[in-house]
Structure 1
Amino acid sequence: MRHATFCIIQLFVVSFLVISCASCESENQEENNNSENDSIEFYFGADLSYVNELEDCGAIYKDQDGDEKEVYSIFEQMGANLVRLRLWHNPDWTYYSNYSDVKKAIQRAKNANMKVLLDFHYSDTWADPSRQLIPRAWQSEVNNTQALGELLYNYTYNTLNELSQEDLLPDIVQVGNEINTMILQEDEENDPLDWQRNSHLINKGIQAVRDISGVRNKNIEVMLHIAQPENGLWWFEEATSNGVSDFDWIGLSYYPIWSQYELNEVHIPLSTLINTYHKKLMIVETAYPFTLDNADSANNILGEDALTNNFPASGQGQLDYLNQLYNIVKTAGGQGLVYWEPAWVSTNCFTQWAQGSHWDNATLFDHSGKATEGINFYTNAFDE
């Protein structure tokens, strides 16, 4: 009897210890999940959305020694710690930047030990300040804000849930891309901002991210992205006054050619945004030409008028621009800088407009596929 009682007590103690250890492990795991993004002081990012397509078109990438290498590895070895990827809802004009393509790209980023910023465009095509076209599948509900909000929520949640089932959840999610104008519009007329509609839709996207983050016990941060810092000043004032406040990051595109702020002035809006809203800030799009030469029949978007601060269109000028912008962002209190499409090199494939690349003179690889001096910007990560 005493032996049986002892065994029962022993079993109880062992069970208690197992449960306690499991609880501790769960708490530690939760703590790790909630702090995993906090371990990075500054994000050095690359938007590699085009890479899968370009490699299918025959693009090759070489390091600075001229050795051909896997492109994600080139960025990781240079110091990049974040990959940004765009996601279109259901594009019928391309096989890329859809769910299956993004899933493949996220896996490549994770294989290279880099964090992932997933950019929901909430459109079947490019979403930007000039157009925020609603996906065709949602067209019937364009004037039904409640129903449209549910569609947006379900799409965001289900996409992230599917990614989670393959351990491919992103670390940061953009709820929209360059959403200066009202999201999910019927045409390109850029209707005046109806904040009752706009805030409801944005908040439904944010809620979806928060909900999947809770269900999957992973800290996924939310970013709202506006093109050009001067637009961020009025947009975030209006957004927060209309109930859009549950976000972690202010994301900005900054191209001096399209901004009223020169490079030596851009610290003003950056500091203002950080100090006013007490959110983290990241430049999620910027670029600088390493040459003015064109490699193909697709006209280059960035030409001589894109040059700033007396930096020439050269690899060194590209690096000097990035290093100066990095120092400006960091001094202002920002925590990230992403180069937009550094791998969009020229190939025989076509864009919607022409054969080749409209960015071939502003990539971080020259016309032979060799990394330019500009890619050395990422080595700043080793000093963080």
Structure 2
Amino acid sequence: MYKKKLALMLSMILCISFMSGYKAMPFQLNKAEAAATFAKGADVSWLSEMESYNWSFYNSNGTKQDLLQILKDKGMDSVRLRVWVNPSLNFSNKADVVKQAVRAKKMGLRIMIDFHYSDTWADPGKQAKPAAWSSKSLAELNQAVYDHTYDVLNTLKSNGVTAEWVQVGNETNDGMLWQDGKASSNMKNFAQLITSGYKAVKAVNSSSKVIVHLSNGYDNSLFRWMFDGLSANGAKYDVIGMSLYPSQTDWSTLDTQALANMNDMVARYGKEVMVCEVGMDVTAPAQAKSFLTDIIAKTKSVSGGKGLGVFYWEPESYGTWYEYTKGAFDSSGKPTAALDAFKN
């Protein structure tokens, strides 16, 4: 009797061990698959404004179609949307971003939100405070960053949209919310502002990844200066983001430098990296396709699988729209061959 009970117990243990191992396999595969999910996307923040002025978009066959569907058919799975605090026009504010994010989510697209913390364009040459924040102290600015970030993301969440990635600042080569948050004057202040944004993002959704974004992704000395400074001052973030806008003749060199920079960021800070903006002159679609194919492959090759994705900046811009010449649609409103790089 004892032997029978012992045999039965051993059989049950073996069965449980087998079943546990069997169940673990799909989990491990799913985890690996999730880690390998590479984002291919575009910033389409001009879309609302273009549609309000009746600009149309056409697929490669010349059929009028929703821009997001055209981009999706080209292999893109993500969109990026900028947020201004109180813009003069009724675009890229909270209401507009929610509308476009809900639209994109319904089409199965992933979402990146790009906070400029300004009423207008924020980039390496200008990081103006929103007018409503102009007289705030540093402590009040930290609270304003937290409140604004939380408000926009929580409103998105209430509308069924959770941002997968969130940029706390846009092309912050020398910080943001000048002069208080100017990195070259006071890196500590900038680090505090980044951390305020980070805390707001995580309060809404702990799985959203917070990006600190600089331009000139080929410039390793700039990135080391910035992220050494942020690290020394305790800034919290998840991802190092970059922009890259090469010419038709230097793209191969800059791509190689950008890859070296990305791998250095991974090794030096243990962070993931992402190319948040790319573009090339619309008159060079063949070279643009070569550039995009290469930078996508290079970002996928980043050590440890820590290259998260590549986003084209405003490909839908065409013709005379704001005189912007680095879109990827031709003068008739159809995508150029450049976007074919996102199919693979």
- Residues 371 and 277 of structure 1: is their aligned pair in 2 closer, same or farther, counting only changes over 3 Å? same
Alignment match of 1:373 (pick from 332, 337, 342): 337
Alignment match of 2:224 (pick from 214, 229, 233): 233
Name the residue aligned to 1:74: 70
Deviation track 1:226-271 (CA, whole Å, cap 9, x = no partner) reads 1112222221111111111x32211101123599963333322121
5 Å matches for 1:1-384?
38=34, 41-92=37-88, 94-141=89-136, 144-186=137-179, 192-214=184-206, 219-229=207-217, 230=219, 231-244=222-235, 246-256=236-246, 262-291=254-283, 313=284, 315-333=285-303, 334-346=307-319, 356-359=321-324, 361-380=325-344
Rounded to whole Å, the distance in 1 between the matches of 2:76 and 2:149 is 27
TM-score (norm 2): 0.83
- Residues 260 and 208 of structure 1: is their aligned pair in 2 closer, same or farther, counting only changes over 3 Å? farther
- Residues 264 and 213 of structure 1: is their aligned pair in 2 closer, same or farther, counting only changes over 3 Å? closer
Rounded to whole Å, the distance in 1 between the matches of 2:127 and 2:118 is 7
Q: Would the aligned equivalents of 1:232 and 1:252 in 2 still touch at CA under 8 Å?
A: no
Shift of 1:346: 3.0
Shift of 1:182: 2.6
Q: Would the aligned equivalents of 2:183 and 2:190 in 1 still touch at CA under 8 Å?
A: no
Rounded to whole Å, the distance in 1 between the matches of 2:301 and 2:255 is 13
Please report the RMSD computed on the Cα atoms of aligned residues, expressed in angstroms: 2.4
Deviation track 1:305-325 (CA, whole Å, cap 9, x = no partner) reads xxxxxxxx2x22221111011
The size of the alignment, in residue pairs, is 307
Unpaired stretches in structure 2, ≥5 consecutive residues = 1-26
Q: Secondary structure at the match of 2:205?
A: helix
| Counterpart code for 2:53 | C
Higher mean Cα deviation, 38-47 or 219-228? 38-47
Percent identical residues: 31
Q: Would the aligned equivalents of 1:61 and 1:369 in 2 still touch at CA under 8 Å?
A: yes
Unpaired stretches in structure 1, ≥5 consecutive residues = 1-30, 292-312, 348-355
Rounded to whole Å, the distance in 1 between the matches of 2:203 and 2:237 is 13
Rounded to whole Å, the distance in 2 between the matches of 1:61 and 1:318 is 20
| Counterpart code for 2:168 | V
Q: Secondary structure at the match of 1:224?
A: strand
